[in-house]
Amino acid sequence: MKNRNVLVSLAALLALAVAAPSAHADNNWKKKHPRRAEVLKRDSNQMKKNAQAEHQGKITQRQENKLNAEDAQIRAQEQADAKANGGYITKSEQQGLNREENRVNAQRRAMERNDKTGDATKFAKEHPRRAEVLGRANNEEGKTDAAEATGKITAQQANQLNREDQAIKRQEQRDARKNGGYITKDQQQQLNKEENAVNQQRAKDEAKDANASNQ
**Tell me: the pLDDT tens digits for 74-118?**
999 999 999 999 999 999 999 989 888 888 888 888 888 765 555
Residues with Cβ < 8 Å from 12, sequence gap 6 or more? Answer: 44, 47, 48, 51
Q: Distance between CA atoms of 10 and 47, rounded to whole angstroms? A: 12
Domain boundaries, the chain: 1-23+31-116, 119-215
For residues 180 and 212, the model is more confident at 180
In which band, very low, low, confident or very high, does the pLDDT at 195 lie, cut at 50, 70 and 90? very high
For the entire predicted model, the pTM comes to 0.53
**Radius of gyration in angstroms for the set of CA atoms belonging to the chain, rounded to a whole number:** 19
Consecutive H or E run containing 2 = helix 2-19
Q: Tell me, what amino acid is at 202?
A: R
Q: Please list, residue by residue across 21-48, b when 16 or more beta carbons sit within 10 angstroms of its beta carbon and e when fewer do.
A: eeeeeeeebbeebebbbbbbbbbbebbe
190 pLDDT exceeds 60? yes
**Tell me: the pLDDT tens digits for 9-20?**
445 444 544 444
Asked if 173 and 115 count as a contact pair (C-beta separation under 8 A), the reply is: no
- Of 101-115, 147-161, 190-204, the one with minimum mean pLDDT is 101-115
Share of the chain above pLDDT 70, in %: 80
What is the rounded average pLDDT for all residues in the chain? 81
pLDDT at 7: 46
In which band, very low, low, confident or very high, does the pLDDT at 211 lie, cut at 50, 70 and 90? low
pLDDT at 6: 43
How far from the centroid of its chain's Cα atoms is residue 15's Cα?
16
